[in-house]
Every structure is written in structure tokens, then in C-alpha cells.
A and B are shown apart, each in its own frame.
Chain A
């Protein structure tokens, strides 16, 4: 059989209109978005600042990096980790009732819609707004950071929990029913084993993100390593900036690696 190449090629769908239109669409978006961004040019000091940051990272202040007192990088990192751990635990506990409230296969439709709206509202408020609000409650310090991280994580954790709950295999619960199990037994042997790994893995994943968020909250005075970082930057102490950034980068990479390993292990069971 002879395939006529030319005939086959002519059968190719004509996509150039779609391509042209989508390119035009993206171009018009770019033009629309850039009209309000006035470009001031690179500041005169900008280049030297960028250079200083790089020099600072290459030659960090060692007495800050290896200093086990209360203002040293190791202690600040430890405090940041503590904020992230407690915040994640608080967030993942609060998320459980929210997740069940939002799952369409557990509660009636109107309750789940209401729950979704509430969670979306919680998620919309930017983290520094929560930070500033919680500082009024607890005073500046790491405690405000813990509460903020806890509330900020609710949105994403709930979303992932809901997916786990909506994937629940109902056959298992039915067969436990047939075997004559009580409600407690059904929850213990039918629901918990299906959800626990997923929930734990979600919490660990969120811990990774919270670690990064916790560094940011220092900017509003909620503890952790963010506050020393911004002070060092505003007073142009680049060697200290370098030391803090190095500590932060190493910590996040280590935690990311461990978390990926643990989650892979959990997923395999």
C-alpha cells in the first residue's frame, strides 16, 4: 500500500487561527498589565546592593552563623522550626472538622457549600494581616507566629483533606456493617486507616511550606528569623544578611529532602 504523503499532510487540522488568536490574547494581556507598571530603572545603588548581597552570601559573618546564643542563626532557625511545627499541628487539627463539614459525601449539600465559602474566606485574608491581628492578642513574639501559621494553613490542608475524604471507599464501611461492627469500630477499622496516611502526608507537606512562611512572619514582629533578616538588610549589614540567608537555604533544603522521603515512604505504605 502506498501512502501519499502529500494527501496525508493536507489532512492536518488547520490550527493557525487558534494559534494566532491565543498569541494575540496573551500579547494583549501583557500590554494591558504592563501599562500601570512604571519602570523606574535600576536604582543607582541597586547594582552595588545586588553585588553586596552576593558577596555577603559568599563570605557570611561566621560569628553570627556559628553562635549558639539567643541571637545566633542556629537558635533563630530552631525557633522558626518550632513555630512551623506547632502551627502545622494546630492547623491540621482545626482542619479536620472543617474538612468533614465541606465534604459533599458526608454532609448535606448546603452545609458543604457553606463550609467551602467559610474556608475560602479564611484563606483569602493575607498572612501578615493575621499576624498583625494576633500580635494584638499575644504581644509581639513567636507565639503570635504560631497562631498565625496555624490559621493560615487551614485553607490548603482542608482542601487536601476534603479530597481524601471524598475518595473514601464506602464498600469497606458497608462490609464492616455487614459483619456487625459498632460505629466506633467502623470509624477505627474502616475510616481511620484509609485517611490517616493521607492526612499525615498532607500535614508534613504543609510543614515544609509553613517553614518558609514562618520566616516571613518575622517581618511583622511575630518571631523567627525574619525580623533579624530585615533589620540586617535595612542597616546594610550584608555579611549578616548572607549568614541568615545561608542558614535559611540549608534548613529549607534539608527539610524538603526529608519531607519528600517520608511522604514517599507513606505513599508506598
Chain B
């Protein structure tokens, strides 16, 4: 009982000169208890049970082992949707990152002194970042018909949200000296921005765009699920038909593509720094 009490209210420390000091009450036990309560409540809400995992776990490994070895002959049919996926994410990333620049300029405190406009732009950006990509894609398929075009739009919007946020955070930390000097010399805001701010943010802007492209390839693979083109479409179809060897082939090719793109992007980002 005493140790339990000491855990919550630590023992007083008596210094050499006889002074008593009460150490602060530790927060860890309270956080732990709260965490345990939350976990139990969540497990209750989601019908979590270890029993099911142990009983049916072999189903999962059965699917995995059905994927190996992959159906190598299926490879040539995967190439077209895979190419489409890469094209979707590339175009979406480029369009999104170009569109992100004006938004980022309008959303940075040190360039845009118009407070209401700033808040509106920032609100729009956080709205875009809040909506999950798949749901944007779903809405896009309603508006632009099924197919890769809707997927590209979704990726562009998603990229816009992320890249704009990263750049305006970067713009707010740049050295404003050159910008003010150019303004004092009579340059317009746009001209001063182009020659004073752009050189400072360009490397990190490009590296953010590349990073976004990396992430987008993986997202583009999902978008097919709502009919927005790319490899997800046939992936979903083949899982439905339980042709797991073909699924394995698709996943393998996706893996190779993602690794190559990540490696390239890492290399270029290393050079940019």
C-alpha cells in the first residue's frame, strides 16, 4: 500500500540542512491509467478479440502463400495499368505542385498582409488536407466520370494541400532582408518575390514535390478502388475472383516500381541539399 502511495505522491526528500522538499507529482501513472481505459473502451467498440485472430489467422497466411509464387506470365498485362498509375501520379503531382505556389504565397504571413484573405486561404488548404484522398477521388468520379482523369484530379488536389502547407511554412522562415531591400529599390512585390524569396525556397520546394510524388504513386494504386483508374482497378477485381497468384504478380511489380522511384527521388533530394 505504501509503495502504491509513493508511486502517486513521491516521498519527501530531506536535504542535509534539514529542509524538506516535495518532489512534483509524476504524471506518468495517470497517463497510463487513462490510456488503458481508452484502449479497453476502443476494444469494446470495435469487437476486438484475440480469439478470432488465433482461430482464423491461418486464412491470412493462406492468402499470402497463395500469392507466392506470383504468376509471372501475367506481367505483360500489368504493365499498362501500372504505367497509367505512374502517369496519373506524375501529372497530378506536377499540376498540384505548380498550383500550390500561388496558394502558398497568399497563405504566408510575411508576404500577404491582408488578414481576412490569409485566413480564408489557410482554411481552404486545411479543408483540402482534411478530406481523405479516396473520398476526393470518389467525388471526382461523380463529376468527371470513371477513369484516370478523376484520379489525376484527386491527386492534384491532395498534392496542392500538402505542398502549399510545406512551402508557406518555409516562406515564413526565410530571410526577409533581400526582399525588403528590393522593395525599397522600387521593385513590385511579385518581382521582389521572384528574385529574393524563390532562390531561398527552391531546393526545399523541389524536394517536397519529389517526396509528394513518391507518396502519390502509392496512393494512386489505391484510387482504382473507387474506379479512378490505375492498377487498383484490376487489383480489386482479381482479389474478388480470388486469383491470388495474379494479385501477387501485381504487388511484386508495384513493389519494384515504388522502390525504384523512392531510390531515384532519394538520390535527387540528396543532390538538392
A63 to B123, CA, bound (A): 27
CB distance from A246 to the nearest CB of B (A): 11
Known: A85-B38, A124-B255. 17 other contacts (CB 8 A): A26-B94, A29-B94, A30-B94, A37-B91, A40-B149, A43-B144, A82-B45, A83-B42, A124-B218, A128-B236, A133-B64, A137-B52, A138-B52, A142-B45, A212-B132, A216-B132, A233-B139
Considering the chains assembled together, what is the distance between the CA atoms of A216 and B158 in angstroms? 15
21 A-B residue pairings within 8 Å (CB atoms): A26-B94, A36-B148, A46-B144, A78-B45, A82-B42, A82-B46, A86-B39, A86-B48, A120-B258, A121-B255, A124-B218, A124-B255, A124-B258, A125-B251, A126-B218, A128-B225, A136-B59, A137-B56, A142-B47, A248-B131, A252-B130
Q: Quick check: A79 and B222 within 8 Å, CB to CB? A: no
Interface segment among B18-26, B69-77, B82-90, B112-120: the answer is B82-90
A81-120 contacts to B (CB < 8 Å): 81-83, 85-86, 89, 120
Within 8 A of A (CB), among B80-132: 83-84, 87-88, 90-91, 94, 126-127, 130-132
**One of A40, A86, A126, A233 near B147 (C-beta < 8 A):** A40
B130, A146: Cβ atoms closer than 8 Å = no
Chain B residues, CB < 8 A from A154 = none
Cβ of B164 < 8 Å from any Cβ of A?
A: no
Which residues in B have their C-beta under 8 angstroms from that of A138?
52-53, 56
| A39-B139 contact in complex given A134-B60, A146-B46, C-beta closer than 8 Å | no
Contact B91 A30 (CB under 8 A): yes
Closest to B217 in A: A124
The contact size tier of chain B is 35 or more
| B130→A248 contact, CB < 8 A | yes
Indicate if B10 sits at the interface (CB-CB under 8 A): no
**Could you tell me if B251 and A146 are in contact, using CB atoms closer than 8 angstroms?**
no
Q: Are A137 and B59 in contact (CB under 8 A)?
A: yes
Determine if B3 is an interface residue (Cβ-Cβ < 8 Å).
no
Where the two chains meet, the residues of B that have a C-beta atom closer than 8 Å to any C-beta of A are 38-39, 41-43, 45-49, 52-53, 56-57, 59-60, 63-64, 83-84, 87-88, 90-91, 94, 126-127, 130-135, 138-139, 142-145, 147-149, 152, 218, 221-222, 225-226, 232, 235-236, 239, 247, 251, 254-255, 258-259, 262
Contact of B83 among A36, A132, A220, A249 (CB under 8 A): A36
The reply to whether A120 and B46 contact each other, CB–CB distance below 8 Å, is no
Q: Which of A36, A85, A125, A233 sits near B42, CB closer than 8 Å?
A: A85
Known: A37-B152, A143-B47. A249 touches B131 (CB 8 A): yes
Tell me the bound Cα distance from A137 to B63 in angstroms.
Answer: 10
